[in-house]
């Protein structure tokens, strides 16, 4: 097994990824020299550089740190790095063992008491909320998050209390979450996704069942009520359900919307916690709060600590992230990139802003996902009043013949739809009707948020 005790240097191939950067920060906090490569300079890689982590942006073996070859070094890579990558192949040729991010995270987490948050959507919000609850409680925690917490402005929370608890986002992509052996786990959703990896929805569900089977003896699984059965019969762990729409072991009751935020009662086994206030918008986040509260209570957090934490939770960047609210426009930045995520986000916005025009800008993520779910994307986007569809963000993929945003566009029934490029969007934003603007996608659409905001701010002068 890989051991970290004598490591002097860690090098990351793809250091700018959200999971990779959390690991980079973790090793740097241990006093280990950390450096890495990424294809593109981003706000996150710039933050790593400010923290003293060297990052370069050219795939050039000559730029590999010299000390890699003379000290005990750990090489970590993400599957997003192509097999043709020059630095990757140089390190392999030089005899280095190259370790996947998921393997390294598993070794760290499995040494403690891990709370693992899994699901095809919702996991970043639930893990960040869970981490915030534990962090503000007497228990404390370390946390590896799949987004930037707005409470802490980072994706890595470090513990200073001696806590054994580690909160980790459990990523189903490439079956990465099978490296984790948690004490507590939640599954928020099991939609068909990553079919380029799994091949079928049945295989996705099967992988989640294997993940649940990794829960330690005497541990607990919290499962969203209504997900496919087959987990509850496992004898080695206790299984609970959660919901905001029906009775479950953990469920929200008496949900009330007040000034854009929700108050609710949390029914838990044997009792209830009344009049909790979540000072973060979106009905979907009430559901996330129920899941996070269930995990926190099972770990030993008190009901009063739950109450305090939910009132102070500030959310995650790019998750229902309100960028502007000036009376004329509300601009929301959201990471939604699956049809079910789009639907949940749009419906939550509709519930809060019932009488206002909702314009959605969507950037599809991956050719394979677009091909698999074009019809589902179209149905979700039809929930909007005005639709703007951008080109596909390819990420790790090469183009697929016949797969473009047009696959989605032609199936959208709403006639108030426009297809445009990223460069055209800025000018188009100047014509948006007053109301709610949601920018959605997992690619680089976030780089357009600020220029769109500037256009919206000019409205009074039009």
Our answer to whether residue 124 is catalytic in this structure is: yes
* 278 and 312 Cβ atoms separated by less than 8 Å: no
Q: Which two tokens stand for residue 178?
A: 């099978």
Our answer to whether residue 233 is catalytic in this structure is: no
* 112 and 144 Cβ atoms separated by less than 8 Å: no
Phi, psi of 19 (to 5 degrees): -75, -40
Q: Are strands 154-157 and 142-149 parallel, antiparallel or unpaired?
A: antiparallel
Bridge partners of 204, per DSSP, are none
Calculate the CA 64 to chain-centre distance. Answer: 30
Report the alpha-carbon distance of residue 308 to residue 392 in Å, rounded: 41
* 23 and 171 Cβ atoms separated by less than 8 Å: no
E strand intervals along 60-122: 73-77, 98-100, 113-118
User: How is residue 399 annotated by DSSP?
Assistant: P
> What is the DSSP annotation of 151-202?
TTTEEEE--SS---EEEEEE--GGGGGGG---SEEEE----S--HHHHSSHH
Q: Which two tokens stand for residue 328?
A: 């004329």
Report the alpha-carbon distance of residue 74 to residue 179 in Å, rounded: 18
Our answer to whether residue 123 is catalytic in this structure is: yes
* 311 and 415 Cβ atoms separated by less than 8 Å: no
Of these residues, 120, 124, 136, 345, which one is catalytic?
Answer: 124
How many Cα atoms occupy the beta-carbon half-sphere of 442 within 13 Å?
A: 20
Of these residues, 78, 130, 169, 340, which one is catalytic?
Answer: 169
How many Cα atoms occupy the beta-carbon half-sphere of 40 within 13 Å?
A: 9
Q: Max alpha carbon distance in the chain (Å)?
A: 66
Q: Which two tokens stand for residue 44?
A: 């996150």
Of these residues, 123, 135, 317, 453, which one is catalytic?
Answer: 123
Report the alpha-carbon distance of residue 350 to residue 344 in Å, rounded: 10
- Compute the 3-state secondary structure of the chain and give helix, strand, coil in percent, each to the nearest 5: 35, 25, 40
How far from each other are the two terminal CA atoms of the chain, in whole angstroms?
A: 64
Report the catalytic residues: 123-124, 169
């Amino acid at each position: 097994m890989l051991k970290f005790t004598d490591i002097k240097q860690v090098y990351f191939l793809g250091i700018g990824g959200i999971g990779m950067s959390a690991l980079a920060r973790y090793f740097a906090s241990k006093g280990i020299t950390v450096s890495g490569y990424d294809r593109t300079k981003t706000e996150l890689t710039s933050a790593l550089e400010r923290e003293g982590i060297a990052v370069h942006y050219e795939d050039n073996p000559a730029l590999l740190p010299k000390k890699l070859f003379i000290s005990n070094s750990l090489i970590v890579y993400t599957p997003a790095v192509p097999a043709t990558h020059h630095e990757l192949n140089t390190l392999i040729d030089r005899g280095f063992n190259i370790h996947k991010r998921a393997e390294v995270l598993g070794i760290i987490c499995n040494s403690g008491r891990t709370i693992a948050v899994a699901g095809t959507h919702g996991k970043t919000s639930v893990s960040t909320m869970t981490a915030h609850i534990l962090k503000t409680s007497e228990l404390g925690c370390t946390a590896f998050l799949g987004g930037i917490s707005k409470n802490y402005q980072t994706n890595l929370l470090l513990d200073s209390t001696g806590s054994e608890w580690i909160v980790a986002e459990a990523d189903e992509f490439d079956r990465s979450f099978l490296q984790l052996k948690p004490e507590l786990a939640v599954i928020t959703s099991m939609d068909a996704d990553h079919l380029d990896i799994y091949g079928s929805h049945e295989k996705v569900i099967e992988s989640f069942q294997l993940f649940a089977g990794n829960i330690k003896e005497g541990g607990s699984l919290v499962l969203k009520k209504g997900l496919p059965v087959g987990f509850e019969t496992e004898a080695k762990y206790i299984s609970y359900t959660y919901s905001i729409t029906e009775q479950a072991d953990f469920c929200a009751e008496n949900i009330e919307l007040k000034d854009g935020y929700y108050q609710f009662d949390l029914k838990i086994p044997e009792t209830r916690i009344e009049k909790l206030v979540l000072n973060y918008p979106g009905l979907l986040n009430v559901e996330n709060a129920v899941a996070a509260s269930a995990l926190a209570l099972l770990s030993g957090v008190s009901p009063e600590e739950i109450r305090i934490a939910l009132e102070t939770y500030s959310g995650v960047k790019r998750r229902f992230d309100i960028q502007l609210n000036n009376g004329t426009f509300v601009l929301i930045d959201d990471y939604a990139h699956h049809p079910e995520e789009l639907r949940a986000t749009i419906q939550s916005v509709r519930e809060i802003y019932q009488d206002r025009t909702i314009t959605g800008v969507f950037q599809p993520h991956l050719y394979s996902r677009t091909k698999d779910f074009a019809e589902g994307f179209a149905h979700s986007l039809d929930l909007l009043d005005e639709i703007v569809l951008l080109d596909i963000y390819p990420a790790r993929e090469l183009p697929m013949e016949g797969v473009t945003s047009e696959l989605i566009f032609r199936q959208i029934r709403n006639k108030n739809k426009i297809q445009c490029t990223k460069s055209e969007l800025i000018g188009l934003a100047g014509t948006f009707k007053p109301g709610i603007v949601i920018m959605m996608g997992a690619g680089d659409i976030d780089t357009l948020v600020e220029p769109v905001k500037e256009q919206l701010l000019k409205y009074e002068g039009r």
